[in-house]
Chains A and B, each alone.
Chain A
Amino acid sequence: SQTIHQWPATLVQPVGSPLSLECTVEGTSNPNLYWYRQAAGRGLQLLFYSVGIGQISSEVPQNLSASRPQDRQFILSSKKLLLSDSGFYLCAWSQRGDPKGEKLFFGSGTQLSVL
């Protein structure tokens, strides 16, 4: 069966510090990968998605970047965190070409607090 691992679960970082959140998927190959941010009252905001190694698309301009160095690994980074980067970050994957629809499978999330 497929599993998605996301870490750390919580993170407290000072303003201006770097960030690296990692996500890995097991039990599938060539998945679509996503980073979402969840803020109260704003639902789930798609930040980045990737359809293959090295292929990253950004949905919104921001202080963050993403990379996909391996097929089942997705990394969210920042060189200098801002207060506004605080939030609940979710990694997700989907099976490419699923004819039944875009079923997203989410990780357990990282609660990031920038102080």
Chain B
Amino acid sequence: QQQVKQSPQSLIVQKGGISIINCAYENTAFDYFPWYQQFPGKGPALLIAIRPDVSEKKEGRFTISFNKSAKQFSLHIMDSQPGDSATYFCAASSDFNSGGYQKVTFGIGTKLQVIP
């Protein structure tokens, strides 16, 4: 059962445009929402993350928008560049349990292509 639904699975954006990737979750216990960026042949790397006590977080050209009541969050890439072409994963996790382990649930991934 997919607990974090991500869309679209692929996205083509022109250079300079805005890339938008959406995710929705079901588990209201989730309280940490990271985005990972993966280039071909490499492992994913943490890009940006948000907690539900804020509605937006911005780091450079990357912004997470978070809607707690709708249980949705999205990644916006402003002024998209060809170097942003990669696969993006949203994810969600909840507080650590007594074992010190926090399970991260990933979305299915979005392959972004930014064309010149």
Q: Which residues of A contact B (CB under 8 A)?
A: 6, 32, 41-44, 46, 49, 51, 57, 90, 92, 94, 96-97, 101-109, 111
Q: Which of A32, A49, A104 contacts B46 (CB 8 A)?
A: A104
Q: Does B34 lie within 8 Å of A103, measured CB to CB? A: yes
A44: B residues at CB distance < 8 A: 44, 89, 106, 109
Contact mask B79-113 → A, CB, 8 Å, 1/0?
00000000001000100100111111011110000
**Interface: B43 (CB within 8 A):** yes
Specify the chain B residue showing the minimal Cβ separation from A40: B109
List residues of chain B with CB under 8 Å of any chain A CB.
Answer: 6, 9, 32, 34, 36, 41-46, 49, 51, 89, 93, 96, 99-104, 106-109
A-B contact count (CB 8 A): 65
17 A-B pairs (CB sep. < 8 Å): A6-B43, A41-B108, A42-B108, A43-B108, A44-B44, A46-B103, A90-B43, A101-B93, A102-B32, A102-B34, A102-B96, A102-B102, A103-B49, A104-B36, A105-B45, A108-B41, A108-B43
A90 to B41, CA, bound (A): 11
CB <8 Å contact, A109 and B43: yes
Least Cβ–Cβ distance between B85 and chain A, in angstroms: 17
Q: A41-B9, A44-B89 are in contact. Are A108 and B42 (CB under 8 A)?
A: yes
Q: Which of B41, B49, B100, B106 is the one whose CB lies under 8 Å from A96?
A: B100
Interface of chain B, main secondary structure: loop
A32 touches B104 (CB 8 A): no
State whether A101 and B99 are in contact (beta carbons under 8 Å apart), knowing that A43-B106, A43-B107 are contacts in the complex. no
Residues of chain B contacted by A41 (CB below 8 angstroms): 9, 108
Residues of A within 8 A of B96 (CB): 97, 102
Report Cα–Cα, A41/B10, bound state, in Å: 10
| Chain A residues, Cβ within 8 Å of B108 | 41-43
Contacts of B42 in A (CB 8 A): 108-109
Q: Contact check, A106 vs B43: say whether CB atoms are below 8 A apart.
A: yes
